[in-house]
Amino acid sequence: MAKQTQRKPATSNRSAKNKSGFFNQKFLKVIALVCVIGLLICAYVLSQSLWKDYPTDKKVQMLSVEKGQTYSKFIEQLAENDQVKFPIVLKLYQRLLINDTMKAGVYEVHQGTSIASVLNMVSNAENAQMIRILVIEGTTFKQLKQQLKNNQYVKNTVLNQPDTAILKAIGASETHPEGLFAPNTYFYAKGETDLTILKDLYQRQQKILAEEWAKRSADLPYANAYEALIMASIVEKETSVDAELEQVSGVFVRRLNIGMRLQTDPTVIYGMGDRYKGNIRRSDLTTPTPYNTYTINGLPPTPIALPSQKSIHAALHPDDGKAIYFVATGNGGHTFSTTLDEHNQAVKDYLAQLRKNRNQ
């Protein structure tokens, strides 16, 4: 008798397939849901970072990028001001897709421009609408000229001419250019001429000097405002501490009043010109030049640098103390003394501090 084989019920196979299909469909739905949620999260992150509009107060806003400014600091500032979220996304975007530095200049940002577009824009100086000119207080006219010459966006028309010709071109009555140009940060259109820039800086300094001269203290030892400008340039070079400006001015004004020589190193350095290599020797202090205030009485013939408005104000408002000496402390700032003995001790303290600093 033939042996019959048993078959599994068809319903059992169909049931297994149905269960498998059900789980596959459920898995696919979960995957799809996860993908949708992921896409929504990515879209939200991007909408609050790269795709977000750069914050502007009007239809067109100028964005100034200073020399040396970094993307990292720029992005962090936006985050600190709550103008953007997820700064790490912006930093990654810059590192991976821009991989360049911010270029100094003034950029035109239209309302509705994304932050990603702004990050790309400021990586190319050709996109700048204006140039930034930084005139540093205490620098010289020679340094200002070189800065303008080195700026490819400033049109050179007078910089190669003698200083006397430059002064005539800008309408100056002075015969020496030092001190006549106001330090500050300025913005000019790309392609602006050196003549226009210098004329603007000159007129600004003239305005500042006239306003400060009109409000000057009484009984100052200056014959005119130009002499005050000379003093301001010396004060500018002697201290970088704003709180000391009027004290330094007071020392020099009292020296002028009692007929004592100013004896200030910056004037010696200026008089040495290109001979100055970073150090003043004793022989330099005794070598006469029109600017060596160790060998001449009174003020030098011209300013020795470009003084800021703060220094001009200090020159015209010296403190009413009694100090006629001062020396650096070695830790920033100066020690002011009324007698030579006090000053000599302050000098010893300064030298001791220098030795201590070197040993440390």
Asked if residues 237 and 300 have their Cβ atoms less than 8 Å apart, the reply is no
Average pLDDT, the chain: 89
What is the residue-wise DSSP string for 200-223? HHHHHHHHHHHHHHHTPPSS-S-S
State yes or no: pLDDT of 189 exceeds 60. Answer: yes
- Between these two residues, 32 and 8, which has the higher pLDDT value? 32
Asked if residues 276 and 301 have their Cβ atoms less than 8 Å apart, the reply is no
Element (H, E) at 311: helix 309-316
Span 97-101, mean pLDDT?
Answer: 87
| This prediction's pTM | 0.74
pLDDT of residue 7: 55
pLDDT of residue 226: 98
Asked if residues 163 and 302 have their Cβ atoms less than 8 Å apart, the reply is no
Q: Where are the domains of the chain?
A: 60-127, 134-211, 218-359
- Would you place residue 262 in the very low, low, confident or very high pLDDT band (cuts 50, 70, 90)? very high
- pLDDT tens-place string over residues 286-331: 999 999 999 999 999 999 999 999 999 999 999 999 999 999 888 8
- Would you place residue 130 in the very low, low, confident or very high pLDDT band (cuts 50, 70, 90)? confident
- pLDDT tens-place string over residues 137-146: 999 999 999 9
Which one-letter DSSP state was computed for residue 296? S
Measured from the Cβ of residue 292, the count of other Cβ atoms closer than 10 Å reads 24
- Would you place residue 1 in the very low, low, confident or very high pLDDT band (cuts 50, 70, 90)? very low
Burial group, residue 313, by CB count within 10 angstroms (0-12, 13-18, 19+): buried
Task: Give the Cα separation of 144 and 154 in Å (integer).
Answer: 13
State the pairing for strand pair 325-328/334-337: antiparallel
- Between these two residues, 8 and 141, which has the higher pLDDT value? 141
